[in-house]
C-alpha cells in the first residue's frame, strides 16, 4: 500500500474530527441563532411557531387520514388513535420521482400526491366517494420543509430543501395548493392541520411513551431538524399566541452553520452539487441524503490523487448521488477487511491488501461519527438553555438514518456525554415510530377540537 495513501486517510479522518471544545462553541452559536430566530423572521433559523400549544396525554382517540411528504418518500396513512398511547395504522408508501420534485411547475407533484390519496381512498374508503363536504375525511398533512405558519393550517413555504426544487411553489401555501388539487379531483378529504415532521415526532413520542417529559422531536432522515416546546412569552416575534402558555416550535436547525465546525473539501464539493448551494450546511454534514455522497467524494479524492483502486473511477458510482447512505451502514456494521470488500465489490472497488481495506473502513466510519457528534450540538444546547438542565428529559427521534445506521444513537450519546457530562444520563432517546403519520393525526385531532 502506498504510504501517502495512509497519510491521506489520516488527514481526512482528522478533518472529520469534531473536538469537544468545538462542539461546545457550536452550542453557544446555536443558542444565539435560536434566540435570534425567536425575535424575528428571515433569520438563519426559521424558529417557526407550529400553532400546537400542548402535547398529547396518550388518551386521545379518533380516526384520521395522514399525509407525509418527506424528502424521499410520500406516505398516505389511516390512523386510528385508541387511547392509552396505542394506535392502529395502515399506510401506503411511494418514492418521490426525481423529475416531479425538480420541476418548473408544482402541478406534477400535486397530481402525484392526489393520485396516491385517490388510490388509498378507493382501496380503503370506497363508501366515502361522492359524499357531501360535511362527511369528508379529516386529514393531517406532514410537510417536511421550512414553512412559516399563521395558524395550524395557514402556511407559507419559505424555501425548498433536500432534493426538491419547484420555484413556483415558494412563497405559497402548499396546503391550500394541495386542497385545490383534491377539490379538482373531488377527493372527500379536508386538511385540518399542516405540521412539520419534527412536530409530529414530538407529539407522537408524547402520545406513545408514558415518560410525560418529552421535550424534543428530532428527525434524522433525508434531512435533519428538530422541534421543541417554548414558552409563548419567550417568543418576541409571536404576535398572537391565542392566550396559550406554550408553543411548539419547528426550529429548522438543518440551516445552522457553525464557525467552530469548519467544512472539509468534501463538504464544499458536495454543496456545489445541490439545488440549494450555501444553505442547510448542518444538514449536509448530518443527514441521510448526504453521507453516502460524502463517502463517494472521499473515495474519488483517494483514487485521483493517491491512486487508490489503481486510479480507476468505478463506472457504477461515477455520478454524484450514486452511492446511498445505506451502503455506509453496511460497511460500518462490522470492522473487517472481508466485510468492506464484500460491500464495495459490486461498486468496482478493489483493495491491494487487508490493511488498505481497513483504512477505507475508517474513512466510512468517520463520516457517520461526525454526523452523530454534530447532531449533539442543538440537542445539548436546547437541553441546557430551555430549562431542563439537571432534570430528566425525553426526546423522540425518527427517520431512516437514526433507525438503520449502526449505533447512531450510541455515538450521539457519546457526544452528549462529552458536552454535558453526567447530565447525559438524564436524557432518554426513543424512536417515535411513524412519527409523521401519528403526529399528523394527533395534530388534526387538536385542530378539530379547537375549531
- Interface contacts to ligand BG6, rule CB under 6 A: 70-71, 144-146, 161-162, 196-198, 219, 221-223, 225, 252, 254, 283, 399
> Does 288 participate in binding ligand ADP (rule CB under 6 A)?
yes
* 224 part of the active site: no
Contact range with ligand ADP by CB under 6 A, out of 271-279, 341-349, 400-408, 438-446: 400-408
Backbone phi, psi, residue 44, to 5°? -60, -45
Q: Which residue is nearest to ligand BG6 (CB)?
A: 223
CA separation, residue 311 to residues 307, 308, 320, 348 (Å):
4, 6, 18, 12
From the list ligand ADP, ligand BG6, none, partner contacted by residue 257 (C-beta under 5 to 8 A by kind): none
Pair 163, 98: CB distance under 8 Å: yes
Scan residues 290-349 and list those touching ligand ADP (CB under 6 A): 324-326, 329
Scan residues 48-77 and list those touching ligand ADP (CB under 6 A): 70-73
Q: Which of 197, 267, 423, 434 is catalytic?
A: 197
In the three-class reduction of DSSP (H, G, I as helix; E, B as strand; rest coil), residue 371 is classed as helix
Q: Which of 29, 34, 75, 159 is catalytic?
A: 159
Pair 348, 315: CB distance under 8 Å: yes
Residues 6+ apart with CB under 8 A from 136: 128, 188, 189, 190
> Does 439 participate in binding ligand ADP (rule CB under 6 A)?
no
> Does 107 participate in binding ligand ADP (rule CB under 6 A)?
no
Closer CB to ligand ADP, residue 71 or residue 396? 71
From the list ligand BG6, ligand ADP, none, partner contacted by residue 368 (C-beta under 5 to 8 A by kind): none
Residue 385 region by backbone torsions, left for phi larger than 0, else alpha for psi between -120 and 50, else beta: alpha
- Bridge partners of 192, per DSSP, are none
d(CA 391, CA 383): 9
Q: Closest separation between CB of residue 328 and ligand ADP, Å? A: 6
* 31 part of the active site: no
Pair 121, 188: CB distance under 8 Å: yes
Cell readout for 416 is 452528549
* 159 part of the active site: yes
Cell readout for 45 is 433559523
Q: What is the binding site for ligand ADP (CB under 6 A)?
A: 70-73, 221-222, 288-289, 324-326, 329, 399-401, 404-405
Please list the active-site residues. 144, 159, 197
Amino acid at each position: 500500500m502506498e504510504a501517502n495513501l495512509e497519510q491521506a486517510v489520516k488527514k481526512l479522518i482528522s478533518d472529520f474530527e469534531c473536538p469537544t471544545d468545538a462542539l461546545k462553541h457550536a452550542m453557544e452559536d446555536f443558542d444565539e441563532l435560536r434566540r435570534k430566530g425567536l425575535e424575528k423572521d428571515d433569520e438563519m433559523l426559521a424558529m417557526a411557531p407550529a400553532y400546537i400549544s400542548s402535547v398529547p396525554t396518550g388518551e386521545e382517540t379518533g380516526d384520521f387520514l395522514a399525509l407525509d411528504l418527506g424528502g424521499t418518500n410520500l406516505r398516505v396513512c389511516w390512523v386510528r388513535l385508541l387511547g392509552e398511547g396505542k394506535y392502529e395504522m395502515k399506510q401506503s408508501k411511494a418514492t418521490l420521482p426525481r423529475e416531479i420534485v425538480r420541476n418548473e411547475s408544482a402541478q406534477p407533484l400535486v397530481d402525484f400526491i392526489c393520485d396516491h390519496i385517490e388510490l388509498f381512498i378507493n382501496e380503503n374508503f370506497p363508501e366515502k366517494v361522492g359524499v357531501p363536504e360535511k362527511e369528508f375525511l379529516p386529514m393531517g398533512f406532514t410537510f417536511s420543509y421550512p414553512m412559516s405558519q399563521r395558524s395550524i393550517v395557514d402556511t407559507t413555504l419559505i424555501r425548498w430543501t433536500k432534493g426538491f426544487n419547484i420555484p413556483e411553489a415558494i412563497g405559497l401555501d402548499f396546503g391550500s395548493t394541495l386542497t385545490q388539487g383534491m377539490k379538482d379531483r373531488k377527493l372527500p378529504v379536508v386538511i385540518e392541520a399542516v405540521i412539520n415532521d419534527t412536530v409530529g415526532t414530538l407529539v407522537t413520542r408524547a402520545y406513545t411513551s408514558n415518560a410525560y417529559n418529552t421535550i424534543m422531536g428530532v428527525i434524522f432522515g433525508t434531512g435533519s431538524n428538530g422541534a421543541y416546546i417554548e414558552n409563548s412569552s419567550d417568543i418576541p416575534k409571536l404576535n398572537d399566541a391565542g392566550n396559550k402558555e406554550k408553543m411548539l416550535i419547528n426550529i429548522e436547525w438543518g440551516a445552522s452553520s457553525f464557525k467552530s465546525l469548519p467544512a472539509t473539501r468534501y463538504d464544499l464539493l458536495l454543496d456545489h452539487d445541490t439545488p440549494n448551494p450555501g444553505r442547510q450546511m448542518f444538514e449536509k454534514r448530518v443527514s441521510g441524503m448526504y453521507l453516502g455522497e460524502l463517502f463517494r467524494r472521499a473515495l474519488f479524492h483517494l483514487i485521483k490523487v493517491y491512486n487508490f483502486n489503481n486510479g480507476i473511477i468505478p463506472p457504477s458510482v461515477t455520478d454524484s448521488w450514486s452511492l446511498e447512505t445505506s451502503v455506509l451502514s453496511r460497511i460500518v456494521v462490522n470492522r473487517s477487511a472481508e466485510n468492506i470488500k464484500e460491500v464495495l465489490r459490486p461498486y468496482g472497488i478493489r483493495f491491494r491488501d487487508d490493511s488498505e481495506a481497513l483504512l477505507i473502513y475508517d474513512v466510512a466510519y468517520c463520516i457517520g461519527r461526525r454526523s452523530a457528534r454534530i447532531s449533539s450540538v442543538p440537542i445539548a444546547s436546547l437541553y441546557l438553555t430551555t430549562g431542563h438542565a439537571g432534570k430528566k428529559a425525553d426526546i423522540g427521534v425518527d427517520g431512516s438514518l437514526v433507525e438503520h445506521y449502526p449505533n447512531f444513537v450510541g455515538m450521539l450519546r457519546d457526544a452528549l456525554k462529552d458536552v454535558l457530562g453526567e447530565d447525559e444520563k438524564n436524557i432518554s432517546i426513543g424512536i417515535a415510530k411513524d412519527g409523521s403519520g401519528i403526529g399528523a393525526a394527533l395534530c388534526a385531532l387538536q385542530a378539530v377540537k379547537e375549531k
